Amino acid sequence: MVLLYKESFSIKVRKKHAQKLKQYLTEIGIIDFSLRPKTIDDYILFPVSRLPALKERMQILAKGRSLSILKGEFILQKTKPFSLKEALENKLTKTELDSLITSFNVLGNTAIIEIPDVLKTKEKVIANTLLELNKNIESVCKISSAHSGKYRTQKVTLLAGKKLSNVFYKESGSVFEIELGKVFFSPRLSTERIRISKLIKKNEIIGALFAGVGPYPIVFAKKSKMKKAYAVELNPNAVKLMKSNVKLNKVDSKIEVFEGDVQKIVPKHLKGKCDRIVMPLPKGAEHFLKDAFIALKPEGGVIHFYQFVDKNEPYTKSLELIQEIASKMKKKTRILRKAQVRSFSPTKIQVVIDIKVY
């Protein structure tokens, strides 16, 4: 291995004082981490990017350390990149770097990334670099389709690392088994799950529509004083995992799982039973808003309504729809909160609207 050297000023200190000096030099921002410190007998030489100012020299002396400044050659050491983009600077062109999507989801020890079409020939380079950069990640998969089909799932393809079909994801003291590519799951909604759990009052009954593998009802069961949650899900793969996750998290007594279409399950099993409804469908929740009204108790309750909308006009159509459904159901509504949850595309965002129905 060829070692590269660079000349630099350094501060010399006895080994017994080295750690405290290093900490101080780091605090004032003058230690040069691109160069390797040098050991000479009972001393360590810390390379610095600039000489300490007079006040800084006085601080070093006041802490009981003598101050010796030397100039010499130090070995250049490889520093770990701080980001995926930085790690790829020498592997992608500037145009390619500009197209890179640096955000990604981590489920258990698997990273799920998006690869734009213009970077398709570099997808394995990107995946392997991400694997090298994150030692806790064992596999990297790419999203290889949009949400599609009856169950709104996305296909994923392994790009690097171990082949995994099921992963375990931890959130808010709960554990979820997820089958990649067979069920919908978004870790980006974790803050929403905690937010709503803090709003749930003692003995509330919750309707969790489009419950997936169970993150909303399970987090609610563990983080609130709810009485019961009815969890409805159409995808049989997700239902199987939700039942398993309910047992895994020991909340069997608080969650009842229904497999089937919301528009069939709600009138038959949930009508007039719930104090609060959550409906985090990946797409098309607006078609089921009437069912959320039906599931609420006669005196009303709260609906947490999620929808993908136009970034430039996020709430107008949603609020019009809410008023339209409320009028048909002969109910009154009050908007408690409206907020952006996450970006979905350059033009689309997901929003949540908390609706008080009475």
**Would you state the pLDDT for residue 1?**
54
- According to the model, what pLDDT value does residue 244 have? 98
Q: What is the pLDDT of residue 79?
A: 62
Task: State the pLDDT at residue 345.
Answer: 75
Helix (H), strand (E) counts: the chain: 11, 17
Fold that domain 84-164 belongs to in CATH? GMP Synthetase; Chain A, domain 3 (3.30.300)
Could you tell me the pTM of the whole model? Answer: 0.73
Q: How far apart are CA 46 and CA 74, in angstroms?
A: 9
Residue-wise pLDDT tens digits, 244-303: 999 999 999 999 999 999 999 999 999 999 999 999 987 889 999 999 999 999 999 999
Domain at 184-357: CATH code = 3.40.50.150
Quote the pLDDT of residue 247. 98
- Residue span(s) of the chain under CATH 3.30.70.2580 come to 5-75
**Comma-separated ranges of CATH 3.40.50.150 domains in the chain:** 184-357
What is residue 86's predicted lDDT score, i.e. its pLDDT? 85
Domain 5-75, classified CATH 3.30.70.2580, yes or no:
yes
Beta bridge partners of 115: none
Which residues of the chain are under the pLDDT cut of 50?
Answer: none
* Four-CA torsion 47, 53, 57, 63, nearest 10 degrees: -90
Q: How does DSSP assign 279-294, residue by residue?
A: E--SS-GGGGHHHHHH
Distance (Å, whole) CA 350 – CA 340 = 6
Please enumerate in sequence order all residues whose Cβ is within 8 A of that of 111, keeping only pairs 6 or more positions apart, or say none: 104, 105, 130, 131, 134, 137, 139, 140, 141
- Residue 260 DSSP code: S
**pLDDT at residue 354, as a whole number:** 98
For residue 61, the model assigns a pLDDT of: 85
Select from 104, 174, 187 the least CA-distant residue to 139. 104
- Predicted confidence at residue 39, as pLDDT, reads 94
pLDDT at 65: 73
Q: Which two tokens stand for residue 267?
A: 């009138």
Number of C-beta neighbours around residue 262 at 10 A: 25
